[in-house]
């Protein structure tokens, strides 16, 4: 079975490129459309434009029934696929080639509000253990120990950004030197949706960022007030930070590399597997809400547009036991 798309689908994907959509977004749309294409070929026939235009309510219902009942897709995933199929239909309606489409009449499954699992956030003790291990040499190989002095401040600062400022993985990986304002103890955080917010750093955390920055050898150090990425990849073999000759700037520390760093530190700390940047961010949001921070203000500051997603945090706190609340946040912290 081929992964090639019908011409009418490629035309739609090309239009997304012309609108300036990110390559990652287009790739995700292509993947979701392939999901439907493969299903249709297996259960119906080759998908042509005429067959797409004349899909029935039964076709759509059968497809989503398979996703939900047989493949056990999460509701969020099926709703995402529904949205992509709907946008494809609206594209041809706008071109005047369709008047309506069956996908527009399908009732997508409702999102069910569920609380976060206990494994999706860190207790205060776990967070302290993680931060402690980041600064230690415990469990490191001889090769890792050699470069460790240059990585401690960088890694600890990143963990603080997730755990104490609620940054997302994308936001941290995307920080440039123009976003870091040492003289003001501020960071400009730009979300994936293009929303910017200013975060004030504590003096301690600003110092971590500055120490890391100055430790980078000057020839490969990101240039201040530029588009150079603030977090730079490290070369353990050469014992220094890396330079990208293709981009003519310090080599960016990728999201994948940041996640790997967190997994490594979590393992060294002896914590549950599965903790990631997202779990650290969950912890920040739960803590802020427990301290009495206004939910709407917090949602706006973090660039979280979905009220339903944010309400998960409120529901989680509502259903927490007294013991879990004490694990998440000490009584002393609640009084701050």
Alpha-carbon Rg for the chain in angstroms: 24
Q: Would you tell me the crossing angle of helices 7-18 and 75-94 to the nearest 10 degrees?
A: 90
**241 against 329, higher pLDDT:** 241
Domain ranges of the chain: 7-105, 118-334
Concatenating the DSSP letter of every residue in 118-187 gives: GGGS--HHHHHHHHHHHT--TT--HHHHHHHHHHHHHHHHHHHHHHHH---HHHHHT-BGGGEEGGGTEE
Sign of CA dihedral 248, 249, 251, 255: negative
Give 186-238 pLDDT, tens digit per residue: 999 987 666 789 999 999 999 999 999 999 999 999 999 999 999 999 998 88
Q: Which residue has the tokens 């509000």?
A: 113
Confidence (pTM): 0.71
CATH number of 118-334: 1.10.443.10
How far is the C-alpha of 238 from the C-alpha of 147, rounded, in Å?
A: 9
Percent of the chain topping pLDDT 70: 94
Please tell me the distance from the alpha carbon of residue 7 to that of residue 256, in angstroms, as a whole number.
Answer: 33
Beta-sheet strands, E only, within 150-218:
180-181, 186-190, 196-200
* CATH class name, domain 7-105: mainly alpha
Look at residues 146, 152, 118, 107 and name the one whose alpha carbon lies nearest to residue 134: 152
pLDDT tens-digit map of 268-303: 999 988 888 999 999 999 999 999 999 888 988 887
Average pLDDT of the chain, as a whole number:
90
């Amino acid at each position: 079975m081929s992964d090639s798309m019908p011409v009418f689908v490629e035309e739609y994907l090309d239009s997304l490129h012309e609108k300036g959509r990110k390559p990652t977004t287009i790739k995700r749309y292509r993947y979701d459309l392939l999901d439907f294409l493969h299903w249709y070929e297996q259960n119906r026939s080759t998908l042509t434009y005429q067959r797409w235009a004349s899909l029935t309510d039964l076709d759509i219902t059968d497809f989503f029934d398979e996703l939900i009942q047989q493949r056990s897709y999460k509701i969020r995933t099926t709703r995402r696929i529904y949205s992509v199929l709907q946008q494809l239909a609206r594209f041809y309606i706008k071109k005047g080639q369709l008047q309506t489409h069956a996908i527009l009449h399908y009732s997508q499954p409702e999102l069910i509000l569920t609380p976060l699992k206990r494994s999706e956030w860190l207790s205060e003790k776990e967070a302290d253990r993680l931060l402690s291990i980041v600064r230690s040499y415990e469990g490191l190989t001889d090769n890792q120990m050699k470069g460790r002095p240059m990585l401690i401040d960088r890694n600890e600062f990143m963990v603080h950004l997730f755990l104490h400022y609620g940054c997302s993985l994308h936001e941290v990986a995307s920080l440039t030197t123009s976003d870091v304002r040492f003289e003001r103890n501020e960071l400009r955080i730009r979300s994936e949706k293009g929303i910017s917010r200013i975060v004030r750093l504590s003096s301690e955390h600003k110092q971590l960022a500055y120490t890391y920055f100055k430790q980078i050898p000057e020839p490969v150090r990101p240039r201040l007030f530029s588009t150079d990425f603030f977090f730079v990849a490290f070369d353990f073999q050469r014992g220094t930070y890396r330079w990208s000759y293709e981009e003519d700037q310090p080599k960016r520390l990728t999201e994948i590399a940041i996640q790997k760093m967190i997994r490594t530190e979590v393992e060294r700390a002896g914590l549950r597997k599965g903790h990631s940047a997202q779990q650290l961010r969950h912890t920040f949001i739960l803590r802020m809400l427990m301290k009495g921070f206004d939910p709407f203000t917090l949602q706006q500051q973090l660039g979280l547009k979905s009220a339903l997603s944010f309400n998960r945090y409120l529901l989680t706190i509502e259903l927490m036991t007294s013991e879990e609340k004490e694990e998440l946040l000490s009584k002393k912290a609640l009084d701050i």
